[in-house]
Amino acid sequence: MVADIVELRIDYIKNVDLKRLLEKRTKAVIVTNRPVREGGRFTGSEEERIALLKLAIRLQADYVDIEHDSIQHIRRDTVHRVPTKIIVSYHNFRETPDDLTDIYKRLSQSGADIVKIVTHANNITDNVRIYQLLQQSQTPTISFCMGELGIISRILYKRFGSYLTFASLQAGKESAPGQINIHELLNTYQARRQDTHSAIYGLIGNPVSHSISPVIHNTLFKELNFNGIYVPFKVDNIGDFIREFRGLDVKGYSVTIPHKESVVNYLDAIDPIAKKIGAVNTIVNTGGQLVGFNTDCEAAIKVLEGVNQVSAKYLGETYLKGKKVTLVGAGGVARAIAFGLKERQAQITIINRNYERAQSLARDVGCLVRKFDETQSLDTDILINATPVGMFPKINETPIDKHKLKPNMIVFDTIYNPIETKLLKEAKAQGCKTINGLSMFVHQAAAQFKLWTGQMPSVEIVEAIAYKHLA
């Protein structure tokens, strides 16, 4: 059994034999009998429900979880004669209310051993309020947010100061919204290594569920014995997020679609290269000051220069000079690549579905621009996709019609999940030389890790971790 404590949800079990179940336990057990009004499945009478919880106490269950509006039915003089610890719980499936402190005070005065406050996150900043509650609590407290936006509070339970967290045995067996499975908690997020001093890092983006960055960076933290934890931050409003999360003292961020450009306005300082590009993919917390960097640019150029190893060997960084490059996209990744190509004196043409954005980028870089529907014929040496078209889960999409691809053209897709996109499959079939986005991802991730920790991980190790996970 991988868990430290097992929650026995008897509201899910028909005709439960509580005596037999508790006699057979090999781990500490929480007995919970959640009524429908609190998101559970017990449909009997309140008297029947409470009777089962009282039986669990007589049978000396390690913990019994009882709702805040039913705690008066459990007599403390009965509990004091047995080792069972009482958890008094409050659930709000709609929101994270403003009166969390008042709710905590009411529950902590109930006489229970442990307070449990679980709310629904409608905004990722609700997690900060849970963190603040846990920092102020005097009684042992379990607290986190439910829902997709609350996942980070479940993962960061030790760092936040929660008594425990909950995980499902496997995907699809969740007992509450936003619950992750135990293997992900232990393997991806290295939960057993976490403590109240773990440095928090994470990925700012939307979507973030496809990203392998948590696997990469958490594995590197473990391999290099660094006390850090990396989590996904699904962010809609970048300004609110940066402002609210300063209170958590997050030590570093990766930044992905769609925030690479907009985040610049909310940072304290920008590295000169990132400032020139106008896009940030890495943030470092330096003594409370958030400083933006861009590791995409160098990573992309390294990959492109390495595609022709003979040329790269004899000509150094001049391989791209004079090459015709068609760059699809006008977002943060496209900006980084465009400025890197310009520095190498490539002949760049920007195309994008949003022509105004393409024009804006072309003006900033000083290169050509074409309308997306004008690409009947691609006269280019290198084609680069810097858009999310074709990214998991929409793997059957492609930004360029396969009939426009020509043999000997180099086709580089910055997407790494899947490793071989539809664009790359069709390019290979047309006789093109292809480069997947994993190469670029690996280089930029290694550079990020060094900016955060001062340690440069082996690119080969990062690549091996990535391939193992994606395979």
Q: How far is CA 365 from the centre of its chain?
A: 32
How far is residue 362's CA from residue 351's CA, in Å, rounded to a whole number? 9
- Active-site position among 68, 91, 259, 443: 91
91 flagged as catalytic: yes
How far is residue 325's CA from residue 345's CA, in Å, rounded to a whole number? 11
Helix pair 126-136, 100-108: axis angle to 10 deg: 40
Q: Which helix (H) or strand (E) holds 365?
A: helix 355-365
CB 346 within 8 A of CB 323: yes
CB 107 within 8 A of CB 92: no
Determine phi and psi for 101, rounding to 5 degrees: -65, -40
**Phi/psi-derived region of residue 176, left when phi > 0, alpha when psi is between -120 and 50, beta in every other case:** beta
- Write out the two tokens for 296: 């995409």
- Active-site position among 11, 68, 116, 120: 116
Helices (H) and strands (E) in the chain, counts: 18, 18
- Active-site position among 11, 126, 296, 413: 296
Q: Which helix (H) or strand (E) holds 222?
A: helix 213-223
Alpha helices (runs of H) in 33-181, residue ranges in sequence order = 46-58, 76-79, 100-108, 126-136, 151-155, 157-160
How far is residue 70's CA from residue 60's CA, in Å, rounded to a whole number? 20
Q: How far is CA 210 from the centre of its chain?
A: 9
- Write out the two tokens for 401: 């019609």
**Length of the chain as a residue count:** 471
Q: How far is CA 445 from the centre of its chain?
A: 15
- Active-site position among 260, 302, 422, 443: 260
Active site residues: 91, 116, 260, 296
